[in-house]
Amino acid sequence: MYKIKRDKFYASRGSYSKIYQIKCSFCKTNITKYQKDGPGIIKRMYHDRMFDIECQDVSGKLNCPNCKAMIGVNYIYKPENRLAYRLFAGSISKSIIK
């Protein structure tokens, strides 16, 4: 159902990806499915790696659709000129889908 995207970003992170269910860490509401490329913690979420995002607003903030906690804010990740959400520490919890 959720297909791993294999592109230059995937390749540059070692061709190793997992798809996670991302939840609000406060109320456990689903935020999105997310493809994380390479090892390490999730500090930002690239838009091109998000599946079924439901809670984006026009100001570019990412808020939990249930408890309204602020999860992250839009910015451009300059090294790759890539739109992403910068996540606030401790704002998400995750579990592996595949």
For residue 26, the tally of other CB atoms under 10 A from its CB is 16
Nearer to Zn ion, 69 or 97 (CB): 69
Nearer to Zn ion, 35 or 91 (CB): 91
Nearer to Zn ion, 37 or 71 (CB): 71
Smallest distance, Zn ion to C-beta of residue 32, A: 13
Smallest distance, Zn ion to C-beta of residue 44, A: 19
The residue ranges that bind Zn ion (CB under 5 A) are 24, 26-27, 29, 64, 66-67, 69
Smallest distance, Zn ion to C-beta of residue 45, A: 16
Cβ burial 62-93 (10 Å sphere, 16+ → b, else e): bbbeeeebebbeeeeeeeeeeebbebeeebbe
Smallest distance, Zn ion to C-beta of residue 38, A: 27
| Secondary structure percentages of the chain, helix, strand, coil, to 5 | 10, 45, 45
Compute the distance between CA of residue 77 and CA of residue 88 in angstroms, rounded to an integer: 15
Nearer to Zn ion, 63 or 74 (CB): 63
